[in-house]
Each structure stands twice: as structure tokens, then as C-alpha cells.
A and B are shown apart, each in its own frame.
Chain A
Amino acid sequence: MAAAAEAVSAATQAVAPAAAGTTTDAVTAASQVAHTGLALAFDKLEYSVMVPLVYLSLAFLLVALVVRIVKILNSPPPPYQLALYPARKRPWMAALGESLGMPQILKRSPALWVALLVFHLGFLLLILGHLDILGSINLVPPASRDMLGAGGVGLMVTLSAFYFMGRRFKGSYRQISIPSDYLLLLLLLFTFLLGDLISWGNSWTASGFVMTKQDFAKYFDGLAAFTFADPRAILHGSHYHMVVLHVVLAELIFLVLPFSKIMHAFLALPINAVRRRVWTHS
């Protein structure tokens, strides 16, 4: 702890004579002071979260997803037709339309449909936005300081997730909900909120952005190149801990996803196809 205090003091001293705009240098200086004891252990923990665990959780996600989907789809087929009528001319197209457009929900609960649409679109944009951080993908101009949507995408998923959570506490919806429904939503909500805070927090500092898209690009490129470099050298300032927390929660999502109801994202098409496929003679 004493070492950390010294580091901050050093940083403060470094800031003092500096002109405006040198705050980042000061923070960098603080970041570069060697930690010991608990601070060192914390550094190592943060490093584990930011680098090796990213690989492990992603690998786990991919393997578990493939194994689970293959196991489900490779189970014996239903012994007889389970279609619902009237039959559709193009069953697979109908199933695709139902999986993506959710017409059943649009018809019966338009407000939920809007929230679901905003959430799912937002989620897709969120994935795209994170991929866009990679130096090789440039949906948003590389020079831009913002991620895709400049915070708007985060708002889309956060607000809709709040709506889903609020709905879970209402009458019959509360009765059909189970603890894992709330926990999963909480996990998503906290991940989104941290993402929002990182995004908005960057803009709120007196000197503007502390961590820019370019900084995150260096971190992501490092991950993609398996350099195992410590991201702390790139991502400066106290926001870093929020980034670590954001990544921890994302890793948790990767770990639970294959065993959660988020599997509906992958099973919606085949399950809808069961409803639409007519294969007995008529």
C-alpha cells in the first residue's frame, strides 16, 4: 500500500509542473511505478483477466457452444411430424422469418417486440463494435476516438435490458421467472453499464478521452497477435479497473452462455423449423 501511495505521490509531483494536457503522462507515470505486495497481486489478477482468461473463456465458449449444439442436433430426430398448420410454402424461410422477426410477439406484445428488436440489434452492433476495435477492421474510421455508435449502441442494450428486468417483476411474469433469469439479466446489465461508463467516462474527463479507440485497438491487436503484453502499458488511468471489471463480466457471460437460455440465439432457427417442416403425406 505504501508503494502505491508513493506511486500516486510521484505521479502528482509529475503533474504539478506540467502544463495542461499532460495529465495522461502523469497517469502513465503512476502506472509505470513498480507495484509490490497486494498491489502486485492485484496487478497480476488484472493481467490474468485481461489476457489469458480472455483466451480461455473465448475458447471455452466456442468449444462448449459447438459441442452443445452438435449434441442437441445429433440426438435422434422426433419420431413423428411436429408441424403446425397451415403449412408454409417455404418452411425454412418461414422459420428464418420467425426467428429473426418474432411475428408472434409483434402481434401479441408490441412493446416487448420493440424492446427485443432494440436489444438484439444493439447486441449485434455491440459485437460488431468490439470487432471493429481490431486494427484490421475499420467500420468506424480508425482516427475516430469513439467505438461504433459512439455510446448509442450501449444505450440500446442497456435500456432494453432494464425494460426486461422491470418486466420480470410484474405479476405473471414474476411468477414464471426463476432465479437464473434475474441473475443472467443482472450479469448482462452490469456488463453493459460498465461498458457505458467506460464509454461515457472517457468523454467526461477534463482533458477529454483518456482511453481512445486507438488505445483499445492496441490492446485488441495485442490479443489477436498473442503478444501476451500487459494492457496496462497501453490503457492508462483509473478507468483501467472498470475495463478489467467489464472484461471479467464478459468472460463470465462467455462461460455461462452455452448453459443458459441465451442458447435460444442458436436454437431459434432449428426449433422453428420443426414447427414449419411438414414431412408426412397429406
Chain B
Amino acid sequence: MDTQLSRDLKRLFETRLNSAMKMYLETCTRCGNCLDSCHVGASIPEIKYTAVGRAEVIRKVFRRYFKMQGSFAPWLGEVLEFDDGTLERIYEAAYSCTGCRRCMVHCPFGIDTQQLMSIAKALLIGADKEPKLLSMLSDMSIAKGEGIEETKASYAEAITNLEADVLALWPTAAEAEGAFSRPMPLEAKGADLLYVGLAGAHSIVPAAAIMNAAKERWSLSFFEAVNFGAFVGDSRKMKAIAQRIIDEAIGLGVKEVAIVECGTAFRVMRHFMGKQPFKVIAFVELIDRYLSQGRITLDKSKITEKVTYHDPCQIARNGGVIEEPRRVLRALTEYFVELRPTKEENWCCGGGGGLVAMGEMEFRMKSSKVKAEQMRASKAAIITTACENCHSQLSDLNEHYALGMKVEFLSHLVAKALVRPGQSYRL
């Protein structure tokens, strides 16, 4: 590797050294309490797949370039210099980590491996070794934001074509007249809420039915919530992608932005983008609110099998939405059972951090064996979740490990159980 690139990577590393990052790099005592925290390490017992194993790759580079021992006694910390071999190790560490932060729950200091892996991802971008697919998808999202005016008409047409599907789930729009008289209002001035979906009818239709049932004054975003910039670890792109939605929300003057069932998109908007003139909520929080306010009612007779819930990492332990989906599920069925371990201790599905988008089927299946075992142990017939990535990964696991479960979005179960006016139902 040429010296100039090595210098550039060192400078890039330095830009990431905020106070928390320095503590994450300096504090680890290698106590080993995180050795079996990671689903990858628990499924493939190799040190490089443990939280400490991954973090040490970055620490070894840190010791080489930012600690005295790196110059006078490199053997003390087994330091790593920037070279092709080191970059390969960095890649393996960064893209075998889903950023679920389960290890952070178990660390006595709270060291955030996802943050350390954000250094790894930044270095890979600096060395032009990042997964090109994720970069390309990020660029496409940004380009869509720049040219949104040109695509609005075709998007509106596609949305109109979905109206019948929405009405099949709930027969009316939110209001009889005016801006909210369409089943899926677009650019609806005076909306209280902006709903941001994904590229796919499944992420919009059931949500639209639920919001219409609750008589929400809402508007559908022109953008998809998914943030590939976050997956690839490019904070500039991550912000640019989120900013498109922020600008749209500010333009409409909404009070709230509800993010589709997508963990990373939710966490980025709620926790990474600073204070905004609107509130950011996960869609499952909105359903919970509708239920508590009596704006929707659910028919408990619709689900007669055991249902369990997979906490998406970025929504639950990293996003703070833990009890809401449980309240929704208890309103939905009498057959809800918890996964074990659950809530902040829940195993990651193994599809986060861009892995589902990148394909990586063989690794995803091998590295999530422990998740499949957890799903099987629940003895549930249905596993529901509130994240697109998790849904894809759980579906793949279900098939690969022949678990025989049904994998469902929570919003879909809710939409199917909406009690229509005059309908008999069981509470």
C-alpha cells in the first residue's frame, strides 16, 4: 500500500476520534464478557466473529498510529499497519457485524462495537474497498432526492393504482372530502403526519388502511425511508438521504413523521439527525397510540395460533421502542409469546448492517443459526416483526432451517384485524 493512502487513512481515522470513540478504544480490558454476545460468534465460534475480536482489529490499527507503543513496542499491542491484509481484516470485521449492539448490553463499560465498526467502514470507503452495491444504492437515493420533481407524476400514478388494495383493507379514506379524501394522500397540505414507506406496496398499503381507520390527517412521502448511507457507514450520504425526508416534512408543516417498519431508517431519523420541528415515531408506536386512544379496534378472533415477536435491534434496544409492539400484540391476540431471550437481550436476526441488501445468503444463514434455534424454541406458528430487513432475514431463516413458521409484518396483522364499522368481533 502506498504511503500516501496510509497517511490518508490515518487522517480519516483521526476524524472519527470523538470523546466516546476514544473511550471505546481505550477502555476495553478484554474481560471476555462479550465473547458469546454476538449471534455470529455464537453461531460460528471464531474469535474474529466476536465483538471483542472485531473491535480489536480497529484497536490494533489505533495502537499503531495513535499510541506511543505503536512506534516503540508494537508487539505489546500486536499492532496492525495499513496494508491489504489489514484492510481485508477490517472488511471482514465491518461486514460481519450487523450493528445490533447486543454486545453493548453485556459489556461492563458499554463499549459500542457498531461505532468502532463505523471507523472500519469509513476506512474501507477511504481505501475504495467498501461494498460497491451499498454505495450505489446510497447514490441512487440521493439522486432521487435531487430529481424528485421529475418522478412525482409517475409515483402518484403508481400510488393511485394501489388505492383499491387499501380500500379492501379499510373501506374509506381518512376524511370524506378535501385533501384527505384519497386513500393515500400525497402532498396533502395541512397533514398532521407524514408517513415514509419503502419501495414496495407491502410497506404502504396496510399502513394506509390503519391510518385511514384512525382518521389520521396524513400524507404519503415521495421517498423511501431506507438509508443505505447508514449501512455503508458514510455519514455524509446518510444525512443527505435523511435530509430529503426532513425537507419534505418541513415543507408540508407536519407535526410528526412516522417511519415505516424499517429499523435503521427509524433510528437514523429519530436519533441521528438532531432536533427537528416535528416528532419522529416508528409506525408501531403510531398503532399503539391509535389503540390506546380507541381510534382503531382489533378483532382478536383473527389469530388463533401462537405468535411471537422479534424485536428489531434498531427499533428496540437502539431505538427505545420495546413495550409498544407488545401492547399492540396483546390487543391483537391472546396467543402472544415472548422469544427467549427477549427485548434488549433478543438475538439479532442477522440481516442488518446492509447484509440483506448485499445478498450474502450463505453467511447470513450460517451466522444466524442461533437465531433460528431461538425461533424454533418459541414453538410459535407466526413470528412477527416491525422491520423490513428483519422480515427478509427471518423469512430466509424460516426457509433455510425449515422452521415451518409464518413471518409477518406487525402492521399487516393489524391491518387484517381492523374492526370495520358494524362488524362483529372479539376483544
Q: Which chain A residues have a beta carbon within 8 Å of chain B's beta carbons?
A: 72-87, 98, 102, 104-105, 108-109, 112, 167, 172-173, 175-181, 183, 259, 261, 263-264, 267-268, 270-272, 274-276, 278, 280-282
Report B265-280 CB contacts with A as 1/0, cut-off 8 Å: 0000011111100011
* Interface membership of chain B positions 13-28, coded 1 if the CB is closer than 8 angstroms to chain A and 0 otherwise: 0000111111110111
Complex: how many Å from CA A262 to CA B254?
Answer: 50
Q: How far is the CA of A104 from the CA of B28 in the complex (A)?
A: 14
**Which A-chain residue is minimally distant from B101 (CB atoms)?**
A84
- Tell me the nearest residue of chain A to B51, going by C-beta: A176
Give the chain A neighbours of B24 by CB distance below 8 A.
271
Do B18 and A267 have beta carbons less than 8 Å apart? Answer: no
**A104 contacts B23, CB within 8 Å?**
no
B30 and A177 contact, CB distance less than 8 A: yes
Instruction: Kindly state whether residue B213 has any CB partner on chain A within 8 Å.
Output: no
Number of interface residues of B (CB under 8 A): 57
Contacts of A104 in B (CB 8 A): 33, 105-108
The answer, among A86, A176, A259, for a CB contact under 8 Å with B344, is A86
Whether B110 and A98, one on each chain, are in contact in the complex, defined by CB atoms closer than 8 angstroms, is yes
CB distance from B79 to the nearest CB of A (A): 9
Q: How far is the CB of B255 from chain A (nearest CB, A)?
A: 12
CB-based contact B106/A85 at 8 Å:
no
- In the complex, which residues of chain A have a beta carbon less than 8 angstroms from the beta carbon of B22? 72, 75
Chain A residues with Cβ below 8 Å from B274 are 80
- B109→A272 contact, CB < 8 A: yes
- 23 sample A-B contacts, Cβ–Cβ < 8 Å, listed by A number: A77-B18, A78-B19, A79-B272, A80-B274, A82-B20, A84-B105, A84-B110, A86-B322, A104-B105, A176-B30, A176-B53, A180-B77, A183-B76, A261-B27, A267-B109, A272-B109, A275-B110, A278-B320, A280-B270, A280-B271, A281-B275, A281-B280, A282-B320
Question: Are A84 and B31 in touch, CB under 8 angstroms?
Answer: no
Within 8 A of A (CB), among B316-366: 316-320, 322, 343-344
Contacts of A179 in B (CB 8 A): 75-78
Given A109-B33, A176-B52, A281-B275, residue A74 in contact with residue B19 (CB < 8 A) = yes
B104 an interface residue at 8 Å Cβ cutoff?
yes
Q: Does B50 contact A (CB under 8 A)?
A: yes
Asked whether, in the complex, the Cβ of B108 is within 8 Å of the Cβ of A75, the reply is: no
Tell me whether A267 and B26 are in contact in the complex, defined as CB-CB below 8 angstroms, given that A77-B19, A178-B77, A178-B78 are known contacts. Answer: yes
**Contact (Cβ within 8 A) A85 B77:** no
Instruction: Output the least CB separation between B171 and chain A (Å).
Output: 34
Q: How far is the CA of A109 from the CA of B107 in the complex (A)?
A: 12
Q: Does B56 contact A (CB under 8 A)?
A: yes
Q: Of B23, B53, B316, which contacts A274 at CB under 8 A?
A: B23
Cα distance, A175 to B17, chains bound together (Å): 27
B213 to chain A, nearest CB (A): 25
CB distance from A260 to the nearest CB of B (A): 9
Question: A103 — nearest CB in chain B belongs to which residue?
Answer: B108
A278 to B18, alpha carbons, bound, how many Å? 18
Interface string of B78-111 (1 = CB under 8 A from A): 1000000000000000000000010011111111
- Closest chain A residue, CB of each to CB of B345: A107
CB-CB < 8 A to A98: which residues of B?
108, 110
Nearest CB of A to B14, in Å: 11
* Cβ < 8 Å to A, chain B residues 35-58: 35, 47, 50, 52-53, 56
Contact of A102 with B108 at beta-carbon distance under 8 Å, contacts A183-B76, A264-B27 already known: yes
Q: B109 and A76: CB pair below 8 A?
A: no
Q: Establish whether residues B28 and A87, one from each chain, have CB atoms under 8 Å apart when the complex forms.
A: no
Q: How far is the CA of A19 from the CA of B106 in the complex (A)?
A: 65
Report the bound CA distance from A73 to B26 in whole Å. Answer: 12
Whether B109 lies near A75 (C-beta < 8 A) is: no
Contacts of B32 in A (CB 8 A): 109, 167, 172-173, 176
Q: Flag if A81 contacts B271 (CB, 8 Å).
A: yes
> Do the beta carbons of B318 and A274 come within 8 Å of each other?
no
B235 in contact (CB, < 8 A): yes
- Given A78-B20, A280-B275, list of 4 further CB < 8 A pairs? A79-B272, A176-B52, A179-B76, A263-B27
Q: Which residue of B lies closest to A112 (CB)?
A: B31
Query: Which of A259, A261, A276, A281 is B28 in contact with, Cβ under 8 Å?
Result: A261
Contacts of B108 in A (CB 8 A): 98, 102, 104-105, 268
**Nearest CB on B from A115, distance (A):** 11
Interface residue from A84, A112, A180, A274 paired with B20 (Cβ < 8 Å): A274
Residue B69 is within 8 A (CB to CB) of chain A in the complex: yes
A112 to B309, CA, bound (A): 33
B68 at the interface (CB under 8 A from A): yes
Q: Is the CB of B319 within 8 A of A85?
A: yes
Are the CB atoms of A175 and B47 closer together than 8 Å?
Answer: yes
Complex CA–CA separation, A275 to B68 (angstroms): 29
Inter-chain contacts of B299 with A (CB < 8 A): none
Contacts A178-B78, A180-B76, A261-B28; A85 near B322 (Cβ below 8 A): yes
Q: A76-B19, A261-B29 are in contact. Are A85 and B318 (CB under 8 A)?
A: yes
Taking a contact as CB atoms under 8 Å apart, the answer to whether A108 and B76 are in contact is no
Whether a CB of chain A sits under 8 angstroms from the CB of B288 is no
- List residues of chain B with CB within 8 A of the CB of A177: 30
Distance A179 CA – B30 CA, assembled complex (angstroms): 12
Shortest CB–CB separation between residue A76 and chain B, in angstroms? 5
One of A74, A173, A267, A276 near B23 (C-beta < 8 A):
A267
A74-B19, A82-B20, A268-B109 given; A180·B115 CB < 8 A: no
Check if B67 is an interface residue, CB within 8 A of chain A. yes
Residues of B within 8 A of A176 (CB): 30, 32, 35, 47, 50, 52-53, 56
Question: B90: shortest Cβ distance to chain A, in Å?
Answer: 18
Question: In the complex, A105 Cα to B273 Cα: how many Å?
Answer: 34
Of A76, A263, A271, A282, which contacts B111 at CB under 8 A?
A271
Given A73-B19, A109-B33, answer yes or no on A85-B344 (Cβ-Cβ < 8 Å): yes
Chain B residue nearest to A177 in the complex (CB): B30
Those 5 A-B pairs whose CB atoms lie nearest each other, nearest first: A275-B110, A75-B19, A85-B320, A271-B23, A78-B20
